[in-house]
Amino acid sequence: MEWKATCPYNPKLDLKDCYLYDTTLRDGEQTPGICFTKEHKLDIAKKLDDMGVKQIEAGFPVVSASERDIIKTISSEGLNAEILALCRVVKDDIDKALECDVDGIITFIATSPMHLKYKLHKELDEVEQMGMDAIEYAKEHGLFVAFSAEDATRTPIEDILRIHKNAEEHGANRVHVADTVGCATPQAMHFICSELSNTLKKAHIGVHCHNDFGLAAINSIYGLMGGAKAVSTTINGLGERAGNAPLEEFVMTLKALYEHDMGLKTEKLKSLSQTVEEYSKIKLAENKPIVGNIVFYHESGIHVDAVLENPLTYEPVLPEVVGQERKIILGKHSGCKAVASRLMEQGIETDREHLWEIVKKTKETRESGVEITDNVFKNIVHQILDDKK
């Protein structure tokens, strides 16, 4: 059986050399209220590495001595993934990243008129020079360097192109289009990345999308369509305000809908999501796409009847592909096939008349406000079958 449902109108994406740089440990931890321990961060980093993530942004070294210790510990773990750290365009920030033995840095400064006027109180040419000086300094110390123009999606396109071309000429390995307040549409991300792709010769383009309007995953994909190579994600979509592009949604949208496999072990998605949920104490919605607890549960009789014959009738992918399990839930909307399936699981045989009575009693019990747990269902069955003896 096929592992996913297929829409014949979806385009296939011919993407080459695309990869993730996951920022759960940095931007994800900037979710208000989250503070990962050293053990938490190391465990998440190992799990990301085991899944096949190419780059892990491990933290922001200037934050504290403890943060630097954690980043250095992750760097010394011998992971396959490259370990990156975030730095302002400040020499001291880069020196602190060097103390952590990271493979590279993401250095950033805002470029939009809004941020220049109200946050930095500087002119764009001064900000640009600060960025170039930081790139040069980091490259002199042998680091991989990504340069991020913060609030790029509210920066005039001519400034984006000039600054990122300048960054490339100063040695930046990658330049980032940061949708800092999630205000770009997919078409805007495609346009910006296309223009950059036509301007740059060597540097990769990365996209860092926030999810304020629920567009981070699709904006990231449109960035790839426009020529980007790298995408910033977080597990469970953690991050400032509404969060960042959720790794699980982005990866599975690409894999299942656009038929581009990034080579990650997607069967580990649910487990990793649960780990991050536990450590962050940010509880997921039960129906969170891909990793929510109930997204492969079925109750409606019409759905269950079909799912029992072929799960893809009502599942976009098979649950095991993302480390999930299918479950048939008994309740108000249950039909005969669902109840018969549950009876069979419990080794109970009955005739059609009794089956109908069990279905009816199951519906009535749920409508009375009682959840149909295994024990409740067993009591219903025994009550009906014992009464008929």
**CATH number of 136's domain:** 3.20.20.70
Domain coverage including residue 312: 297-387
Q: Is 285 inside a domain boundary?
A: no
pLDDT(348) > 90? no
Same domain, 213 and 349: no
- 268 has pLDDT over 90: yes
Residues 250 and 309 in one domain: no
Q: What is the pLDDT of residue 74?
A: 98
Q: How confident is the model at residue 358 (pLDDT cuts 50, 70, 90)?
A: confident
Mean residue pLDDT of the chain comes to: 95
Residue with tokens 């001064």: 126
| pLDDT at residue 9 in the model | 97
Do 134 and 216 belong to one domain? Answer: yes
Are residues 365 and 241 part of one domain? no
Would you give the DSSP letter of residue 82? Answer: E
pLDDT in tens, 96-141: 999 999 999 999 999 999 999 999 999 999 999 999 999 999 999 9
Q: Look at residue 9 and tell me if it is in a domain.
A: no
Tell me, yes or no, whether 38 lies in a domain. yes
pLDDT at 4 over 90: yes
| pLDDT of res. 13 | 94
Residue 39 forms part of a structural domain: yes
Check whether 389 has a pLDDT greater than 60: no
Domain boundary among 250, 280, 310: 280
How far apart CA 43 and CA 284 sit, in angstroms, is 20
Same domain, yes or no: 303 and 273: no
Asked which of 14-28, 82-96, 187-201, 295-309 is least confident by mean pLDDT, the reply is 295-309
Residue 113 backbone dihedrals phi, psi, to 5 degrees: -55, -35
The answer to whether residues 155 and 218 belong to one domain is yes
Residues 89 and 208 in one domain: yes
The reported pLDDT for the residue numbered 70 is 98
State which of 231, 248, 280 marks the end of a domain: 280
The rounded distance, in Å, linking the Cα atoms of 249 and 94 is: 33
Q: Residue 387 has what pLDDT? A: 66
| Per-residue confidence band for 330, with pLDDT thresholds at 50, 70 and 90 | confident
Which pLDDT does position 341 carry in this prediction?
83
Is the Cβ–Cβ distance between 65 and 32 less than 8 Å? Answer: no
Domain end: 255, 280, 305, which one?
280
**Does residue 287 lie in a domain region?**
no
| pLDDT at residue 164 tops 80 | yes
**pLDDT of res. 354:** 85
Question: Based on the domain organization, do 158 and 201 belong to the same domain?
Answer: yes
Q: Whole-angstrom Cα distance, residue 273 to residue 290?
A: 10
pLDDT of 165 above 80: yes
351 and 239 part of one domain: no
156 and 241 part of one domain: yes
Which whole-number Å values give the CA distances from 74 to 11, 35, 372, in the listed order? 39, 16, 46
The answer to whether residue 363 is domain-embedded is yes
Does any domain span residue 286? no
- Say if 10 falls within a structural domain: no
Domains identified in the chain, total number: 2
- Burial pattern 43-77, b for ≥16 Cβ within 10 A else e, equals bbbebbbebbbbbbbbbbbbbeeebbebbbbbbee
In the predicted structure, residue 388 carries a pLDDT above the cut 70: no
Arithmetic mean of pLDDT, 343-372: 86
Crossing angle of helices 374-387 and 352-367, in 10° steps, is 130
What average pLDDT score do residues 4-14 get? 95
Instruction: Compute the average pLDDT of residues 89-97.
Output: 98
Percent share of the chain, pLDDT over 90:
82
- State whether 183 and 317 are in the same domain: no
Biggest distance spanned by C-alpha atoms of the chain:
89
| Average pLDDT estimate for 31-59 | 98
Do 132 and 91 belong together in one domain?
yes
Span 54-82, mean pLDDT?
98
Q: What is the dihedral of CA 252, 253, 257, 261, to 10 degrees?
A: -50
Range in 52-66, 216-230, 323-337, 338-352 with the lowest mean pLDDT: 338-352
What pLDDT score does 144 carry? 98
pTM (2 decimals)?
A: 0.93
